[in-house]
Amino acid sequence: MKAPKSRVAEVFYWLIERTMPMIAAITIADSINPSN
C-alpha cells in the first residue's frame, strides 16, 4: 500500500515543481507590469 501513495506524492511534487516557476513568473510580470 506504500507504492501508490509514494507515486501520488511523486506526481504531486512534480506538478508543484512544474507550476511554481510559471506562477512565480506571472506574479513577477504582474508586479513589474500591472495590467489593472
Q: What pLDDT does 34 receive?
A: 67
Place of cell 512565480: 24
pLDDT for 14 equals: 93
For residue 35, the model assigns a pLDDT of 64
Supply the pLDDT for residue 4: 65
What are the residue boundaries of the structural domains of the chain, listed by start? 1-31
pLDDT (0 to 100) of residue 22: 94
Query: For the purposes of burial, counting CB atoms within 10 Å of the CB of 1, is it exposed (0-12), middle (13-18) or buried (19 or more)?
Result: exposed
pTM: 0.49
Q: Say what the pLDDT of residue 20 is.
A: 95
Cα distances (Å, whole numbers) of residue 14 to 4, 23, 36: 15, 14, 32
What are the DSSP E strand ranges found in the chain? none
Q: What is the pLDDT of residues 1-36, one digit of tens each?
A: 566 688 888 999 999 999 999 999 999 988 887 665
